[in-house]
């Protein structure tokens, strides 16, 4: 199968490329390297011993996108390209809407021009907003609480309307919970450009000596140990979910939103303890005030993914921490070292 992958050089994209190439698919990556490095693609080539086409361009550039899609003529598209920092989305909302919403609209129009009718989209559990009940199932009301989440909810709606209006179209909206970890080789992984916003990359940078200590944002939540509880999903499992979604899209029409998580909540303190075991050293922490906008608990109902995609997570928190640590310890400055 020919697969067009926007944002393929990024964290989740690069791991999905490994799975796609290993399964024998032909791939074209479309990425402007806004938050990624071409080194990640070189490493993917080394890992798989396979090549891929690469177009360096922006999803906001309608002409370039249409040209790339019509030239490659894919069977399906996986759409990772986007901006993802919740805090930043409050400061530069228009850039988020242009990239995440207009970029998605451009992509669908370019798919029409290339007669491509299958898309797998990177959505997020953040579209649910505050939990009205747990676990979050796909019927939970959509009520995002920040601009980033609203761009994802809007892009979902646009894709759903496109799928309704396009005969035989198939769209899968994958709502990721908290992707973490790295490829087991330690050759690719998450490489935040700035101070990490997310828990595991921050912990990894403390472990490797790039940061002094982790601030735990609140220990007075209504959880087992008072710290926030999340559904961490290994990025290699997440990559496999994309292959399962592509297979599903070949046999289904319409648009489906599907959670991608393990269904298990893990607290901040539990994750830190697992990381300490993986790296064999203590992680310095301090208790800090709650981070505005954080919820106590978030975890997925996973039955829809099992039913429709025949997919469930295989890797656990120890795998997530061990693989993250291998990546971080062998690449302390991320891809910058190359």
Q: Determine the residue with CB nearest ligand UFG.
A: 228
Should residue 327 be labelled a site residue for ligand UFG when binding is judged by CB under 6 A?
A: no
Is residue 171 part of the contact set for ligand UFG (CB under 6 A)? no
Number of residues binding to ligand UFG, judged by CB under 6 A: 21
CA gap 15, 239 in Å, rounded: 6
Decide if residue 217 touches ligand UFG (CB under 6 A). yes
User: Does residue 230 interact with ligand NAD by CB under 6 A?
Assistant: no
Q: Is 11 in the site for ligand NAD (CB under 6 A)?
A: yes
Distances 249 to 70, 105, 169, 171, 244 between C-alpha atoms, Å? 20, 19, 9, 7, 9
Told to judge if 148 belongs to the known catalytic residues of this protein, a careful annotator would answer: yes
Q: Which of 9, 27, 86, 101 binds ligand UFG (CB under 6 A)?
A: 86
CB of 168 to ligand NAD, least distance (A): 25
7 makes contact with ligand NAD (CB under 6 A): yes
Told to check if 294 binds ligand UFG by CB under 6 A, we report yes
265 binds ligand NAD (CB under 6 A): no
d(CA 87, CA 94): 14
Residue 60 binding target from ligand NAD, ligand UFG, none, CB below 5 to 8 Å by type: ligand NAD
Which neighbouring-strand residues pair with 5?
Answer: 29, 78
Of 320, 197, 337, 338, nearest to 270 (Cα)? 320
Q: What is the C-alpha separation between 66 and 162, in angstroms, rounded?
A: 17
Over the window 149 to 188, marking each residue x when it contacts ligand NAD by CB under 6 A and - when it does not, the resulting string is: ---------------------------x--x---------
Q: Which of 3, 5, 18, 32 binds ligand NAD (CB under 6 A)?
A: 32
Stretch that binds ligand NAD, among 3-11, 137-145, 246-254, 324-332 (CB under 6 A): 3-11
| Binder of ligand NAD out of 2, 22, 26, 34 (CB under 6 A) | 34
> In whole angstroms, how close is the CB of 281 to ligand NAD at the nearest point?
25
Residue nearest to ligand NAD (CB): 10
Could you tell me the smallest distance in angstroms from the CB atom of residue 117 to ligand NAD? 21
Please state the closest distance from residue 255 (CB atom) to ligand NAD, in A.
Answer: 17
Contact 180, 239 (CB under 8 A): no
Distance CA 215, CA 192 (A): 17
Planar angle of CA 78, 81, 83, nearest 5 degrees: 145
Copy the structure tokens of residue 301: 């109902």
Nearest-angstrom CA–CA distance, 326 and 323 = 5
C-alpha torsion angle, residues 299, 304, 308, 311 (rounded to 10): 30
List of E strands, the chain: 2-6, 26-31, 53-56, 76-79, 118-124, 170-176, 178-180, 214-217, 229-230, 232-234, 254-260, 266-267, 285-288
Q: Which is nearer to ligand UFG, 4 or 221 (CB)?
A: 221
In DSSP terms, 78 is beta-bridged to 5, 120
| Distance, CA of 162 to CA of 338 (rounded, Å) | 41
65 neighbors 107 (Cβ within 8 angstroms) = yes
155: contact with ligand UFG by CB under 6 A: no
Question: 3-class SS at 291?
Answer: coil
The residues carrying an active-site annotation are 148
User: Which residues sit at the interface with ligand NAD, rule CB under 6 A?
Assistant: 7, 9-13, 31-36, 58-60, 80-84, 99, 103, 122, 124, 176, 179
User: Which residues sit at the interface with ligand UFG, rule CB under 6 A?
Assistant: 84, 86, 124-126, 176-178, 197-199, 202, 214-217, 228, 230, 268, 291, 294
């Amino acid at each position: 199968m020919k697969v067009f992958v926007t944002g393929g050089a990024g964290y989740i994209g690069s791991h999905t490329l490994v799975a796609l190439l290993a399964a024998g698919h032909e791939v074209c990556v479309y990425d402007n390297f806004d938050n990624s490095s071409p080194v990640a693609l070189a490493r993917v080539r080394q890992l798989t011993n396979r090549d891929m086409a690469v177009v360096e361009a922006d999803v906001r550039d309608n002409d370039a996108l249409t040209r790339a899609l019509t030239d490659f003529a894919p069977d399906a598209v996986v759409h990772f390209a986007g901006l993802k920092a919740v805090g930043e989305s409050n400061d530069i909302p228009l850039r988020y809407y242009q990239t995440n919403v207009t970029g998605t609209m451009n992509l669908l129009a370019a798919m029409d021009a290339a007669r491509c009718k299958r898309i797998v989209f990177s959505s997020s559990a953040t579209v649910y907003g505050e939990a009205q009940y747990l676990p979050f199932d796909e019927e939970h009301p959509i009520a995002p609480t920040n601009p980033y989440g609203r761009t994802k909810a809007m892009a979902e709606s646009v894709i759903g309307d496109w799928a309704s209006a396009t005969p035989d179209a198939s769209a899968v909206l994958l709502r990721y919970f908290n992707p973490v970890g790295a490829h087991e080789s330690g050759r690719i992984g998450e490489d935040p450009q700035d101070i990490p916003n997310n828990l595991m990359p921050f912990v990894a940078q403390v472990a490797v000596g790039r940061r002094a200590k982790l601030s735990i944002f609140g220990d007075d939540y209504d959880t087992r140990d008072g710290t926030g509880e999340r559904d961490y999903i290994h990025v290699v499992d997440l990559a496999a979910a994309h292959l399962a979604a592509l297979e599903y899209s070949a046999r289904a029409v319409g648009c489906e939103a599907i959670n991608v998580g393990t269904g298990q909540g893990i607290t901040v303190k539990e994750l830190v303890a697992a990381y300490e075991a993986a790296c064999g050293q203590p992680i310095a922490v301090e208790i800090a005030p709650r981070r505005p906008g954080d919820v106590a608990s978030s975890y997925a109902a996973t039955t829809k993914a099992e039913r429709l995609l025949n997919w469930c997570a295989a890797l656990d928190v120890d795998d997530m921490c061990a693989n993250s640590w291998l990546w971080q310890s062998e690449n302390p400055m991320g891809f910058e070292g190359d």
